[in-house]
Chain A
């Protein structure tokens, strides 16, 4: 089976085990050319393992990966040259200056010295590192190192860019810079971003892929994923007492059985189209039970709500 022309990356039936642990279990999906795909999942869901396989750094036990219609082999090979990777850990050369390490990668990818210099200057400007062009990697602040980490992935103008938690540890200004640059790349490059920041994923991604236990849970646009869970706003009732579960019997009959309310300690949360009717009843019930209301929130459903709905509230690794 060959990927359609608009498909930049196709993963088919990917499996990976580490001993008895199944990290990735029959995972299949496609990434369209020029889109930003948010790759989400709780800790231990299999994101990093999947990313390493997609980059050609880890061999799958089963399944196949195609990049622009060509099979990817371990180590990347020729196809792998079209990939750029910004790992979650900062991976820079500590005793090379920003300019030197960008130029090095440019030269390794076949750019002539003047072209490598120009491209390095361009990226230094984009990521606000011009004044640090001659500073050694180890002397940069954490945020600067992370920006350099991303710039290194982009030096050779890759067709597909993997960004693993690109905004972790960045200040708000840097997050804006990185976000805007990633958006500007969309169209010319295909970008796959892993993140735990749902708000960032909503802002950045054209489509979102959520995996858990190594399996694909959903792949769609953010709006599409929200729509799969039905309509309605999210209501959160916060009590002074840790007795939210005592309100469940009141709201359960009037919420969608597929999206039951949740009660955790002092917080009752439910989604409903009839929230306006329900709230007075809830407040009266709180008074009747002798409880005390601490806060009340009504908000539109977010990607995080969907994520929690799909992956649960249980803490992971």
Chain B
């Protein structure tokens, strides 16, 4: 009963402190739209700039325009073009566009390209025709575009010259078959970002009691520390799941689609929220005022956001293997495990059993952090309120 009374109280306080609650709820959906504007609008098609020096029509079906047509014909499984091909004349200007990442690749088709192929087919020459790629090795998309366009060019050349291809490639996708855009890869992280925002509302629920002295009344009352923290946790769990749902809905409004299990997403979201609340209790142990929380408290918030890869993907540092799973350095954060689990569920169709390692790991971490946070909070604010 005491938990219910205190739960109602924290819920009312959260509603009435609507500015903090609003930011918590709309922060991640805002980033969904922002990320979508930057990434999803950029489409999974690679922008290919073709400089065609070979204008002779004498090569017939071996003419360079056939290769351009071949690139244009390649489609993703959903029907979207693999390349957006644009013919240009100025190589330098095209290179600038690649440097500015407004295109992924410049391909120069040298003069005499069609004739070289014709000579090769008719045995007059063994020298292969040349293509010149101008790519940005620092841009992963550029490298991908280069490999993909080269592959298409080889297939086309083999086809038109009748040469035998020394390799037979059998490509088997591990995904759902549905193309996954950069934006799609960000969505799981943004869902966890929504949950990370709960750190402020959770810690504020506790720090407010300390700052205003009402913790004294609670300490003297029969309310136990465990009941206080349980009520705050339940309340924040609701806020976390609402924030996660709003973020997911925001992603759907901009075209995000998934075949993943939504109940599994909610389970992972709930575990991630518990982890964030547990960390928040530890943060609240070191704060005495709301001002401190909203300034000093930003440090653990950014730590959590950064190392959970909620905004920026990081290279993974392997620590060890456990039960057949690799454990990475940032897996000490429950939110990091949650990002990985959500990514597999949403973008690769994994079910809850497939991410059991991550879910159990995040749950255990949340329990450990909650135990440590409760101990710290009790020592700092309850025992000497």
Which A residues lie at the B interface, using CB under 8 A?
55-58, 74-76, 80-81, 83, 85, 87, 89, 91-96, 100, 103-105, 107-110, 136, 152
Contacts and interface: CB of A to CB of B under 8 A. Distances in A.
B223 A91 contact: no
Given A93-B13, A105-B221, 15 more contacts: A57-B219, A57-B384, A57-B385, A75-B382, A75-B383, A76-B219, A85-B217, A89-B213, A91-B214, A93-B212, A95-B13, A95-B16, A96-B9, A107-B2, A110-B1
Contact of B219 (A75, A89, A103, A104): A75
Contacts of A109: 221-222
Grouping DSSP codes into helix (H, G, I), strand (E, B) and loop, the B interface class, with mixed when no group exceeds half, is helix
Contacts of B17: 95
23 contacts: A55-B220, A56-B220, A57-B219, A57-B385, A75-B382, A75-B383, A76-B219, A81-B222, A83-B220, A85-B217, A91-B214, A93-B212, A93-B214, A94-B212, A95-B16, A95-B17, A100-B9, A108-B6, A108-B218, A108-B222, A109-B222, A110-B222, A136-B16
A108 B217 CA distance: 10
Contacts of A85: 216-217, 220
Contacts, number: 71
A55 to B, nearest CB: 7
Contacts of A93: 9, 13, 212, 214
A136 B12 CA distance: 11
A83 B219 CA distance: 12
Contacts of A105: 217, 221
Given A74-B383, A93-B212, A136-B16, A104 B5 contact: yes
A91 B220 contact: no
A103 B13 CA distance: 15
Contacts of B5: 103-104, 107-108
A136 B218 CA distance: 19
Nearest to B225: A75
Contacts of B1: 107, 110
Contacts of B213: 87, 89, 91
B13 A96 contact: yes
Interface in B216-244: 216-223
Contacts of A110: 1, 222
A96 B223 contact: no
A57 B214 CA distance: 13
Interface string B372-385: 00000000001111
B220 A76 contact: yes
B12 A96 contact: yes
A80 B220 contact: yes
Contacts of B9: 93, 96, 100, 104
| Minimum-distance CB pairs A-B, first 8 | A107-B5, A91-B213, A95-B16, A108-B221, A76-B220, A108-B223, A104-B9, A95-B13
A138 to B, nearest CB: 10
